[in-house]
Structure 1
Amino acid sequence: MNTIWQGRLDGEELLYHRIFQRVKEENNYDFISTKDFVLHGFAVDEGVRRNKGRQGAKDAPDMIRKNMANFPVIRPDFSLLDFGNITCENGMLEDTQYELAKNVSKVLLKGGRSVVLGGGHEVTYAHYLGLKTAFPEQKIGIINIDAHFDNRQPEDGVGASSGTGFWQIAQEGDINSLHIGIQRNSNTLKLFDTAHHYKMKYILADELFFENLPSIYQRIDDLLDSVDYVYLTVCMDVFNASIAPGVSASAYNGIFADAAFMHLYRHILKSEKLLALDVAEVNPVYDIQERTARLAATLVNEWFIV
């Protein structure tokens, strides 16, 4: 067993189990069963480099695993298969994205639920492509919890990056996306214009307060009702720098993982249409006391217990 998956051993009976006791390291996709959670690490930040961000996110997947390991298992039927990390060789980001997409499609066609630990937010295009490969005729909805739209058009000579994922998806047909936590001071008017042009729906960070939850639920439900399957991606730079200092672009005015946020987050997780979840942009180089990695691990674990 990988030494990353370690935790407090209270006993071997099911009532004592923690995640490290239930995870199985695997490399054969034929062994996936329906409703298994299937984990890949996207140990890549080439897209962050291309986007002129702070590199270091490629080291995040194992740090997030470490912080997931000791969570208690709540559901008796919980099963987690870990297929290890995908890395980016020689700056070939596009090849790495297609590799993840291929693996994710295998997971979904076996009835598994895909969990990806990033890595930079270039994971978005790869993860979405995995869903679209598995279900080419189905309508895929994307919920992006992020301060940024990530709908920048690729620069000539640079190519895809951590900031281009939603622009790339939009080039392949109608995009069905809802972006939650968008900051006005983190997106140019051009990016807002691009969002409007492609009919990307969004909820500003300023709208995320408890009294506004009924309206937010409605907008989430409108997306959920209009699609066949849902993919949820969480960019950790949406959060305030005090609770998520270890990101590529920290935010002094980011949101908090408070009661209002957790209510809307769990509302998404409860959807039977949700097939895929990832966390992106954890950067251990700049983290403090592993706060960002711990928060990312907690957000993934919420799907395991909802």
Structure 2
Amino acid sequence: MKDDPRLADIIYPGTDGNVVLLGFPYDEGVARNGGRTGARSGPEKMRAWLRRFGTVFNPELGIDLSPLRITDAGDIDPGLPLEQAHAALTAKVKGILQAGGTPFVAGGGNDQSWPNAQALLDTHESCRVGAINVDAHLDVRPLIEGKAHSGSPFRLLLEDARFSGELFVEFATQGSQAAKEHVEYVRHRDGHIHWLSEIYMNEDALGWFSSALGRVAWDCDAVFVSFDLDSVRMADAPGVSAPSVMGLRGSEALEIARIAGQNPKVQLFDLSEYNPEIEEERTGRLAASMFYYFCLGVASRKEA
């Protein structure tokens, strides 16, 4: 309706937006890691839930999205072998970054986070890059027969000579999902782990995330925020490969997306593991809402 425009009404095809939606419809990396497949349909179903969702002017927050150019770059070709798809994703994200856009990459499996991070490192070769992984898991497992998978993206990032582990944060990690060896690996690489239990002990998930992002952003030139939907409790996000009764609340996930979008040093955001074959609507609405809230954050950015 003309008097009630929604987010989908102002999304245009292309790669020239201030925010650029890009799909990575792959879950082979999940299968390699022994997880349940189905996330390959995530980008398609997320876009379906975007239709008629999210007012262009949000009167509660006083944020107007209409000055923001939001575009949809489509999907990485779903017919490629996974390693070629990763290379294509890096190239696409790098092109968006170099054009001045902020990519929001919707997966697909969490293996997408390594090629996304590569694009940011390639774009800022002489700068310091930071990363925050919002995830129930650490995702620092070794490669399987030399191949990347959904459990390995941040091991690959931490082993990249261009990246400093002191600028890496694992956020909302669950002790029941993190092997002792992997915890030691992250700490050996100087990474930081914020456990879900300590976040909730202080009942301030958003304050903790804001502080973590602020510390990373202070010390670097560009930040990558990766959000795995299995960090959200299954009451709010049942449609993931590895749902958990514990986790962040859906409302916290939305605000984390907005806080990330609001920070001008956040130049890349990815969302992983939406699996419509397990559950479509509740998790799909959350994924679409996170894109909306990220855009609200970008629209309210101030200069760094």
Q: Would you call these one fold, judging by a TM-score over 0.5?
A: yes
**Correspondence for 1:143:** 132
Residue number in structure 1 paired with 2:217 = 224
Q: How many residues are matched?
A: 284
Instruction: Note the aligned Cα RMSD (angstroms).
Output: 1.9
Partners of 2:129 and 2:42 lie apart in 1 by: 27
The runs of 5 or more residues in structure 2 that have no matched partner are 58-64, 298-304
Deviation (angstroms), 1:212:
4.1
Would you say 1:131 and 2:120 are equivalent positions?
yes
Q: Distance in 2 between matches of 1:249 and 1:268?
A: 24
Residues 298 and 130 of structure 1: CA distance in aligned 2, closer, same or farther (over 3 Å): same
What code does the residue aligned with 2:283 have? T
Q: Structure 1 length as normaliser, TM-score?
A: 0.87
Q: Contact 1:132 / 1:140 at 8 angstroms: preserved in 2?
A: yes
- What percent identity do the matched residue pairs reach? 25
The answer to whether the 8 Å contact 1:102/1:133 transfers is: no
Which residue number in structure 1 is paired with residue 263 of structure 2? Answer: 271
Q: 1:177 is aligned with what amino acid?
A: F
1:281 counterpart residue number: 273
Query: Cα deviations across residues 249-285 of structure 1 (Å, max 9, x unaligned)?
Result: 11112221245x6555543332110111111000000
* Alignment deviations for residues 218-241 of structure 1 (CA, whole Å, 9 cap, x no partner): 333211101101111110011111
Which ranges in structure 1 are unaligned for 5 or more consecutive residues? 1-9
Q: Which residue of 2 aligns with 1:257?
A: 250
> Are residues 186 and 68 of structure 1, via their aligned partners in 2, closer, same or farther at CA, if it must alter by over 3 Å?
same
Residues 39 and 217 of structure 1, relative CA distance in 2, 3 Å threshold? closer
1:85 equivalenced with 2:75 (yes/no): yes
Q: Per-residue CA shift, 1:42-78, capped at 9, x if unaligned?
A: 0011100100100000001011111122222132212
How does 1:1-306 map onto structure 2 within 5 Å?
10-11=1-2, 16-26=4-14, 29=15, 32=16, 36-70=18-52, 71-74=54-57, 75-89=65-79, 92-155=81-144, 157=145, 159-173=147-161, 174-175=164-165, 176-209=167-200, 211-212=203-204, 214=207, 217-258=210-251, 265-287=257-279, 290-306=281-297
Report the AA paired with residue 62 of structure 1.
Answer: E
Q: How far has the Cα of 1:247 moved from its partner?
A: 0.4
Contact 1:50 1:158 in 2 (8 A): no
SS at structure 2 position matched to 1:230: strand
Q: Check the 8 A contact 1:46/1:88 in 2, yes or no.
A: no
**CA contact 1:231–1:275 (8 Å) conserved in 2:** yes
Question: 3-state SS of the aligned residue for 1:208?
Answer: helix
Conserved? CA contact 2:257–2:291, under 8 Å: no
Aligned counterparts of 2:218 and 2:141: Cα–Cα separation in 1: 28
Q: Is the 8 A contact 1:44 1:87 kept in 2?
A: no
Aligned mates of 1:267, 1:117 — CA distance in 2? 18
